């Protein structure tokens, strides 16, 4: 979580707060995006996942195609838009 998200903490249930136990400064929060944008080792066409500025393998659930399809359809339903791949 970034410093900008701190005010939201009061509105979250305790079970959610246990997940968000680490805060980052704005610079720290933006650093992974900067690595993704400018590090020549990052090749988006190959697919990639970064965590704290490091290339890592995504969790198994993040690679589940059935879950991805369900999320895609839910996103379309929630936004009322149809997205084409």
Residue 49 lies in a domain: yes
Please check whether residue 8 lies inside any domain of the structure. yes
> Does 5 score more than 90 pLDDT?
no
Q: With respect to residue 64, please indicate whether it lies within any of the assigned structural domains.
A: no
For residue 64, what pLDDT is reported?
Answer: 92
Condensed to tens digits (0 to 9), the pLDDT of residues 14-46 reads 777 677 666 778 888 899 999 999 998 888 777
Rounded CA gap, 65 and 56, in Å? Answer: 19
In a domain, 23, yes or no: yes
What is the tens place of the pLDDT at every residue in 48-84?
Answer: 889 889 989 888 888 899 999 999 999 999 999 998 8
CB-based contact 1:24 (threshold 8 Å): yes
Q: Is residue 9 part of a domain?
A: yes
Q: Looking at the domain assignment, is residue 36 inside a domain?
A: yes
* pTM of the complete model: 0.52
Question: What gap in Å lies between CA 36 and CA 54, rounded to an integer?
Answer: 9
Domain that includes residue 19, residue range: 3-58
């Amino acid at each position: 979580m970034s410093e900008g998200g701190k005010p939201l903490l009061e509105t979250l249930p305790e079970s959610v707060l246990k997940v968000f136990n680490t805060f980052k400064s704005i610079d720290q929060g933006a650093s992974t995006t900067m690595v993704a944008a400018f590090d020549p080792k990052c090749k988006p066409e190959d697919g990639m996942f970064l965590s704290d500025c490091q290339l890592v393998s995504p969790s198994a659930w993040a690679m589940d195609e059935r879950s991805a399809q369900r999320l895609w359809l839910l996103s379309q339903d929630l936004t009322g838009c149809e997205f084409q791949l």
